[in-house]
Structure 1
């Protein structure tokens, strides 16, 4: 890892919130493509998923989702449950940021894609008892759209449309369907 990237990771702990935000954005931008330093931070990020600070948990989950494409050892296959757990965080904003990033894990390969799809389907079907379940469902539908747009895999679209078809409330069915309108 170069010193600039290391400084961004260090700045995540800075007192200055603007410096933290800049560091977060730089790391997200860097990890939007494959990087060769994923394993230099991987274990720390896994540990950070359980940090007492919800911002730390959120950042760690988002970074790991982005780093999945830089994971030739497929560590995400065993660590996914720890990332997924953050999508149930007691701080809804943390849970939501995580859920909105999870689709990126599906870009790492066929196994990872199938794992993400299975979790999305299960969560969509079973999230009714959760607070804010309509937002959770929306984020899942949006995540499926993002994955579809990146992969152009028709099976992903079919899954999303099938899930939308299960929505009983016409208001939410319309909202979820809007994600799949042709752009």
Structure 2
């Protein structure tokens, strides 16, 4: 791992919140494409998924989601349940940030895509008893949109529209449809 990336990971632990934020932004940007250092941080990130610090849990889930495209060993398939658990974190902002990045795992390959899609569809259908379920459903629609934009796969769009039609309240259907404009 190059020294700059190492410094960003070190800066995540800085007492300076601005340094933490900038390090986070740089790491997210660095992981938008494949990297050769994914496994140098993988185990620590996996461990951080259950850290008492909500920021560490959130960042770990987001980074692992981004690093899935660099995961040639397909570790994410076994580790997915731990990442997915953070999308249901007791701290809603942690859960939401994790859910908003989970779609990136689907970019890693067909098996990973199927895993993510199955979980997103199930969550959309069964989240009515969760607090802020309309935001969860909106984020799931946004995940579908991101995947559609990356792949152009019309089946994703069709599935997303079918899910929107399951919503009984017209105002929420309208809200979810804004993702597809």
TM-score over 0.5 (shorter chain): yes
State the Cα distance separating 1:158 from its structure 2 match: 1.2
| 1:128-181 deviation line (CA, Å, top 9, x unaligned) | 000000000000001000011001111111110110010110000001011112
Q: Runs of 5+ in structure 2 lacking a partner?
A: none
2:108 alignment partner in structure 1? 108
Instruction: Tell me the number of residue pairs that the alignment of Structure 1 and Structure 2 aligns.
Output: 181
State the Cα distance separating 1:26 from its structure 2 match: 0.5
Runs (4+) off by over 4 Å: none
2:59 alignment partner in structure 1? 59
State the Cα distance separating 1:60 from its structure 2 match: 0.5
1:32 alignment partner in structure 2? 32
Q: Runs of 5+ in structure 1 lacking a partner?
A: none
Q: In the alignment, does 2:174 pair up with 1:138?
A: no
TM-score (norm. length: structure 1):
0.98
2:127 alignment partner in structure 1? 127
Q: In the alignment, does 2:94 pair up with 1:94?
A: yes
1:10 alignment partner in structure 2? 10
State the Cα distance separating 1:45 from its structure 2 match: 0.1
TM-score (norm. length: structure 2):
0.99
